[in-house]
């Protein structure tokens, strides 16, 4: 058994044992689900909850006496991989935000070789363009958005690079034909089903080397996650899309504005939930989809009318927003207290998902390395799976 398989087995055992903590949906709870933690959690006010949320080590210390398994799950740390020597921005990189450019440079610092490159879900092909310049290797970038393809092609032509774009849907079966054995396939922050397809297609083609940074684990086909590896299927956690969102709740790059919007969104979602229960006469949670954050710049009454429209509930002619926000306030604090416990498991669950992908490749004859390719300040999705064969 490999070191990765050993770690996966340990994680699986502890995550199965602690699922009563992390496989909870706070919005559906009407009280704290852990009586033994109630005295501690109910003493925590807004400021303390926010401070603990911003400091995972302090949150672990706060709960360590009651949740030693959660602390143990957070101990295995992945090694840092290569970083860029500098983050100087060439003229063609104008318009790329600083953190995004740092991610691209750090990812590229881990890429070497002589094989042609396939860039999966490329956008404008910034990563592929940088690598084409650095290595003079031919690059093929797959992207479904024709405007982004056109802009990428113009930049490549201006720089005289051997860099072509394929404008196609990565989820279409024909996309598998882009993979070849003598090739290096790359995917920086490919979401959910897109990076699962990337792994399956590359393994089927016997692609020589792979580098993948996964993102947005919940964007999958179907309602439940089907583990890729045989080890994952044997230790299946029964994850649904809600569970897969848990690792993504770590927002290490958010500033004060992001925190303020997150708090408003939580309050407004809960206030709408109080309203919809009254309007429908049904005491059950009704989830809302994701929505543009500009909806949070108006007032709650406008948001509630939008939400009623989403759920096909007749909106009341007059709506006292302050009343519903006040009704939601005790639940907001309760949700934050429940999330303090659940968030102990963000990293362990993401590590489990990363290891499932790594073991899938090991089972198909690849040598696999797993580590961090960029600093936490640049992105919370900073994990890199590297695989090679032959």
Residue 11: CA atoms inside 13 Å, Cβ hemisphere, count?
Answer: 26
- What whole-number distance in Å separates Cα of residue 121 and Cα of residue 62? 41
Q: Tokens standing for 306?
A: 């939008």
Alpha-helical runs (H) found in the chain: 3-17, 19-22, 38-42, 46-54, 56-63, 68-73, 98-109, 126-135, 146-159, 192-205, 230-234, 241-244, 256-280, 300-310, 321-342, 346-362
Q: What angle do CA 349, 378, 211 make, to 5 degrees?
A: 65
Question: Is 80 exceeded by the pLDDT of residue 111?
Answer: yes
How confident is the model over 119-137, as pLDDT tens digits? 999 999 999 999 999 999 9
Per-residue pLDDT at 169 = 97
Question: What is the band of 374 on the pLDDT scale with cuts at 50, 70, 90?
Answer: very high
Q: What is the pLDDT, as a whole number, of residue 252?
A: 53
CB burial string 212-228: b at 16+ within 10 A, e below: bbbbbbbbbeeeebebb
Q: Is the pLDDT of residue 91 over 90?
A: no
Whether pTM > 0.75 for this model: the answer is yes
Taken in order of first residue, the domains within the chain and their CATH numbers are: 3-66+256-344 (no CATH), 91-248+345-388 (3.40.50.150)
Whether 8 and 353 have beta carbons less than 8 Å apart is answered as: no
pLDDT of residue 390: 81
Q: Which pLDDT tens digit goes with each residue over 285-324? A: 999 988 888 899 989 999 999 999 999 999 998 999 999 9
pLDDT of residue 261: 87
Span of 148-152, 192-196, 259-263, 367-371 with lowest mean pLDDT: 259-263
Average pLDDT score over the chain: 94
How many CB atoms lie under 10 A from the CB of residue 363?
A: 15
Buried b (16+ CB within 10 A) or exposed e, 103-122: bbbbbbbbbeeebbbbbbbb
Tokens of 143: 């992207």
Percent of the chain past pLDDT 70, that is, above it, reads 98
- Residue 349 has a CB neighbour count (10 Å cut-off) of 22
């Amino acid at each position: 058994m490999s070191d990765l398989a050993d770690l996966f087995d340990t994680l699986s055992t502890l995550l199965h044992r602690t699922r009563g903590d992390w496989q909870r949906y706070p919005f559906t709870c009407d009280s704290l689900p852990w009586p033994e933690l109630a005295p501690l959690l109910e003493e925590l006010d807004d400021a303390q909850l926010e401070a603990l949320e911003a400091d995972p080590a302090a949150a672990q210390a706060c709960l360590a006496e009651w949740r030693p398994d959660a602390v143990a799950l957070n101990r295995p740390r992945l090694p840092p991989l290569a970083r860029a020597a500098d983050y100087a921005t060439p003229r063609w990189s104008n318009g790329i935000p600083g953190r995004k450019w740092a991610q691209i440079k750090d990812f590229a610092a881990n890429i070497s070789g002589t094989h042609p490159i396939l860039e999966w879900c490329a956008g404008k092909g910034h990563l592929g363009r940088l690598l084409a310049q650095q290595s003079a290797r031919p690059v093929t970038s797959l992207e479904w958005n024709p405007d982004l393809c056109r802009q990428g092609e113009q930049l490549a032509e201006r720089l005289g690079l051997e860099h072509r774009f394929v404008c196609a849907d990565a989820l279409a079966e024909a996309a598998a034909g882009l993979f070849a054995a003598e090739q290096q396939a790359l995917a920086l922050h490919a979401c959910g089903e897109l990076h699962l397809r990337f792994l399956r297609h590359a393994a089927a083609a016997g692609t020589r080397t792979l580098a993948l940074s996964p993102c947005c684990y919940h964007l999958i086909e179907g309602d439940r996650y089907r583990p890729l590896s045989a080890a994952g299927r044997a230790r299946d956690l029964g994850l649904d899309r809600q569970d897969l969102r848990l690792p993504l709740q770590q927002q290490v790059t958010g500033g004060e504005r992001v925190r303020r919007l997150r708090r408003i969104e939580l309050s407004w979602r809960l206030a709408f939930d109080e309203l919809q229960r009254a309007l429908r006469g049904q005491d059950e949670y009704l989830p809302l989809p994701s929505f543009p954050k500009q909806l949070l710049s108006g007032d709650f009454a406008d948001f509630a009318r939008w939400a009623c429209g989403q759920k096909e509930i007749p909106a009341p002619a007059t709506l006292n927003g302050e009343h519903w926000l006040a009704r939601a306030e005790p639940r907001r604090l309760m949700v934050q207290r429940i999330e303090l416990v659940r968030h102990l498991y963000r990293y362990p669950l993401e590590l489990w998902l990363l290891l499932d992908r790594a073991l899938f490749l090991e089972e198909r004859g690849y040598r696999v390395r797993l580590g961090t390719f960029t600093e936490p300040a640049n992105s919370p999705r900073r994990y890199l799976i590297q695989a090679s064969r032959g």
